Structure 1
C-alpha cells in the first residue's frame, strides 16, 4: 500500500501559473543566458531550438529548452522534424514532472482551445536579488 502511495506522488505533476520573462529560438547552436528585467542572471546554456526563462510563483526562474521534434511524414528524414511550439502569450500554465515542463497556453478567443509543448528543464535559478 505504501509503495502505491509513493508511486502516485512521484507520478503526479505539479501545475503552476508562470510568466515568460525571456525567450529565444534558433535552429543552430547558440548560447542562452537567462534574463530578468534586462539583466543576465545565472549561467549561460549552450542550446538548440526554443529556450524560455519562466518566472515561477515564488520568484525563482526556470530555464527550459525544446529541440525540434520527430514528426512522421513521407518526405524522408529531412522532413521528419518539426519546430517546437512556442507560446506567444506571456502568462501560461506549466506542468512540471521530473526534468520536463509541459507548457500550456490558450490559442482561441474564448480560451477553450489550448496548445502545449514539452520542454526540458535546464536549470532552476534562485530568485533574482532586489526583486
Structure 2
C-alpha cells in the first residue's frame, strides 16, 4: 500500500511541471499605458481577433507555430506606505523582440536578457488574455 501511494505521488509530482511549456517567441506588438485602453492584436500592421479592455503592459507574441498569444500585466503591489495609489509598481517589460516565455495554465512568464553577455535575465509574469489562430497572409 505504501508503495502504491508513493508511486502515485511520484507520478503527480512529475506531471505538474510537465504541463508548463517554455517557448522562444517574438513580440510583434506592444502597448503600455497607466489608464484603461482597448487593445487589438496586430499582425503585419493589421488588427486581428477581438479587442481587449486592459491597462498596464500588453503584448502580442508570435508563437513558433504562427499562432498569436495576447498577454497583459497589470500593476503589481509594492508596499511604499503611500496609500493604495502609491503601493503599486509598473510591470517589467522587455525592450527586445525575441524572448522566452514559460507558459503555465493561464500565465505566461516572460524571460529576457538584460546584460551585455546575455547571462543576467529579467522576468515578469503576465496573464494570457487569448490565443489567436495563425493569421492568414
Q: Which has the higher helix share?
A: 2
State whether structure 2 residue 32 is matched by structure 1 residue 18.
Answer: no
Corresponding position of 2:62: 55
Q: Deviations over 1:57-105 (max 9, x none)?
A: 0000000000000012233333210000110000000000000000000
Map 1:104-119 onto structure 2 (within 5 A): 104-119=111-126
Q: Deviations over 1:16-61 (max 9, x none)?
A: 0000000001111110000011011111100010000000000000
When the two structures are superposed, what TM-score results if normalisation uses the length of structure 2? 0.89
Corresponding position of 1:100: 107
Corresponding position of 2:43: 36
Q: Deviations over 1:107-131 (max 9, x none)?
A: 000001111000000000000012x
Structure 1 unaligned spans of 5+: none
Q: Give the length in aligned residue pairs.
A: 130
SS of residue paired to 1:72: coil
Q: Distance in 2 between matches of 1:87 and 1:31?
A: 21
Q: Distance in 2 between matches of 1:25 and 1:98?
A: 23
Structure 2 unaligned spans of 5+: 1-6
